[in-house]
Amino acid sequence: MDVDLGFDKGKLGSLINRVKEEPEKGQTVWTATTRWDKGFRSEATIRSHTVPMDEPMQLGGSDTAPNMVEMVLGAYGCCLTTGFVANAGMLGIELESVDINLAGDLDLQGFFGLKPPEECPPGYTEVRAEINLNAPKATEEQLKQLYDSVIATSPVGNIITRPVKVVTEFKS
């Protein structure tokens, strides 16, 4: 069954086949640059997009944009959404909506350096995502397979659930 979920299935299918035939084509590098504005405001430039970030007022910011840890939640939710839409579209599953609620537990004692990182990590200790799919024509088995596939292949989910080598250099 051909379902239109609003993305170019031909383009995605072609890319999948290219990577399948030539795995080296799947090796990519993604980039971003960031710039400090004022106070706790900064912005990330990703391709031709500028994404502002700021801290909430209770952390001394001016609350002009989401903060970085909130962006991680948003990135994970949007990554899952993309995975559900792409996989459903390629499998012919008609989706009417994808809604995801996310929450993350973060203890500010770690961020403020009031406790050592091994005792109180400065980042999330748990992230929860509640996924609501509306696909009235899909069977429970199709939705379970869709869910399992998306969770297993989410790049952002993978990034936040396993150790990633981070190389940071100081240049003055």
- Looking at residue 55, what is its pLDDT? 98
Look up residue 63 and give its amino acid. Answer: D
pLDDT digits (tens, 9 = 90+) for 57-76: 999 999 999 999 999 999 99
pLDDT digits (tens, 9 = 90+) for 22-57: 999 999 999 999 999 999 999 999 999 999 999 999
- Beta carbons of 152 and 145 less than 8 angstroms apart: no
- Looking at residue 2, what is its pLDDT? 75
- Looking at residue 172, what is its pLDDT? 87
Domain ranges of the chain: 9-26+67-161, 31-66
CA–CA separation, 23 vs 13, rounded Å? 15
Q: What is the crossing angle of helices 68-91 and 9-21, to 10°?
A: 90
- Beta carbons of 148 and 131 less than 8 angstroms apart: no
| 127-144 b/e (C-beta count within 10 Å ≥ 16 → b) | bebebebebeebeeeebe
pLDDT band with cut points at 50, 70 and 90 for residue 1: low
Q: What is the mean pLDDT of residues 9-23?
A: 94
CA–CA separation, 160 vs 127, rounded Å? 9
- Strands 33-38 and 41-46 turn out to be antiparallel
CA–CA separation, 73 vs 126, rounded Å? 11
Look up the CATH number of domain 9-26+67-161: 3.30.300.20
pLDDT digits (tens, 9 = 90+) for 74-107: 999 999 999 999 999 999 999 999 999 999 999 9
Best CA proximity match to 98, nearest among 141, 128, 129: 129
- Looking at residue 78, what is its pLDDT? 98
pLDDT digits (tens, 9 = 90+) for 110-148: 999 999 999 999 999 999 999 999 999 999 999 999 999
